[in-house]
Structure 1
Amino acid sequence: MKIQIYQGRNRIWEKADITIVIDVIRAFTVAHYAFMRGASRIFLVETVEQAFKMKKNNPGYLLAGEVNGNPVEGFEFDNSPFHIAQKQLTGETIVQRTTNGVRATLNCLDSDHLYVTGFSNARNTAEFIKKAHMEEERKINIVASHPSGDDDYACAEYIKQILEDTKQISPQEVETRILHSHVAKKFFDAKNTGFIREDVMCCVKELDTDFVMKVNVISEIPMIERVQVC
């Protein structure tokens, strides 16, 4: 088993059998909460224009995401896990566009198995991959999608140690690094009203859910699907 951590949303890494893309603050924490609230699937698109086109062709779809962290006018949801956790989404289809996590994921579609996660579902994702894929020698890429955020990188190191059965970093240390990352700083600034501390508090909670988020890479438009953990 060869595991490599990469950082950033742009493609600079070698193809892997398994790729895990991380966006803690906030895209894949949002996705995790959306599935917990009943969403059936989440399409991933690179541009706002693609999202609106899908909405035009499928008026029932719900748009979620941001541009440079800011909400998009005309989207039903911003990139807030706290906000989406308040919604009832049973059976809904979401179209997600974000600056880092979604873009990084779209650069990894040549991976045989592609998963996405935040810290909230990191342990479940790593444990699932160990059970489902570790019978053979595998090359695994872990992508911390924020170009410089220690929130994603700490989560990547946490997943790596679970896959390798080492204990170099505790969940509490990951939580501390997320809270003290420069990415989280603006969420605790009362003057920066576009960002709320509740989002980061959602992002640092490990949740014991019974599913992982796997990307259907052969779909015409890539989409995250909920895969039940046995």
Structure 2
Amino acid sequence: MGIRIFQGYDHTLENSDINIVIDVIRAFTVAHYAFERGAKQILLVGNVDAAIQLRKSHPAYLLAGEINGIAIEGFDLDNSPLTIMECDVKDKTIVQKTTNGVRAALNSLNANELFVTGFSNARQTAQYARKRYLSSNETAKINIIASHPSGDDDLACAEYIHSIIAGSNTISTEEVVARIKNSHVAEKFFDESNPYFHYKDIATCSKEINSNFLMKVNQECEIPTIERFFI
């Protein structure tokens, strides 16, 4: 079977038909909510300096991201879906830099199609990939990248996507939600003494949204750019 799961952000992947990069807590949940709120596009950069240089050339761009989960000084937005839900991002271009998800996406560009997702739109992403897989007589090469090197949140989502593409349906949404909430990545969000993280982010990251689009990375742009891909 040509559907493979990788864990971590630094794999050397062979060329494939579809790569799906997952960051549940929180990068691509943030991206999904940004698009739901009308964001125009999201540019992916590998470091803080690249983001700042982009803003010098394009003052209207919004910088979003984190280092080790914590907001970056000088950026407009952190890496919380709660923040995105409170901000006016309609028609805005966002520049995103994160520890795992963005790095994994930038390392997964050798595919005919590259999608990013959290759990929030994992089902729609998987259903699209399944159609492509079946139309290829199950010969398409599909890589599913759980970007956190050890997080069961991303791995559970990867297994969920794999099961939908393969048609096995071996993992339920309830199991995925439980594994997201019980993952070690989520622990700090429930620590009331930690001011940098909020438990409501986990509730948001473990909720499915029925969107009419996927998040596809346009690899023809000078800077890889997430765009809405309507389905």
Mapped to 1, the partners of 2:74 and 2:133 lie a distance apart of: 40
Q: Say yes or no: does 1:130 pair with 2:130.
A: yes
Say whether the 8 Å CA contact 2:43–2:224 is kept in structure 1.
Answer: yes
CA distance in 1, matches of 2:156, 2:190: 20
- Structure 2 residue identity aligned to 1:142: I
Return 5+ residue gaps in structure 1 as ranges. Answer: none
For the residue of structure 2 that corresponds to 1:21, the secondary structure is strand
Structure 1 position 60, deviation (Å): 0.4
Aligned to 1:120: 120
Structure 2 partner of 1:195: 197
Kindly state the Cα deviation for residue 77 of structure 1 after the two structures are TM-superposed: 0.4
1:157-196 alignment runs, 5 A limit: 157-196=159-198
How far apart are residue 12 of structure 1 and its match? Answer: 3.2
Measure how far apart 1:15 and its partner are: 2.5
Identity rate, percent:
55
Q: How many Å separate the matches in 2 of 1:31 and 1:134?
A: 28
When normalised by structure 1's length, the TM-score is 0.97
Secondary structure of the 1:213 match is: strand
Q: 1:43 matched to which residue of 2?
A: 43
Contact 2:61 2:95 in 1 (8 A): yes
Coordinate RMSD, CA, aligned = 1.0
Per the alignment, residue 144 of structure 1 pairs with: 146
Structure 1 partner of 2:72: 72
| Letter in structure 1 aligned against 2:140 | R
- Residue 105 of structure 1: aligned partner: 105
> How many Å separate the matches in 2 of 1:14 and 1:7?
15
Please, which runs of 5 or more residues in structure 2 have no aligned partner? Answer: none
Q: Is the 8 A contact 2:14 2:110 kept in 1?
A: no
Q: Deviation per CA, 1:16-72, whole angstroms, max 9, x where unpaired?
A: 211000000000000000000000100000000000000000000000000111100
Q: Mapping of 1:2-13 within 5 angstroms?
A: 2-13=2-13
| TM-score with structure 2 setting the length | 0.97
Distance 1:37 1:134 in 2: 33
Change (3 A) 1:7 1:129: same
Alpha-carbon distance between aligned partners in 2 of 1:102 and 1:181, rounded to the nearest angstrom: 20
* Amino acid corresponding to residue 100 of structure 2 in structure 1: N
Q: Which whole-Å CA distance do the structure 1 matches of 2:230 and 2:182 have between them?
A: 33
Q: How many residue pairs were aligned?
A: 229
- Partners of 1:6 and 1:13 within 8 A in 2: no
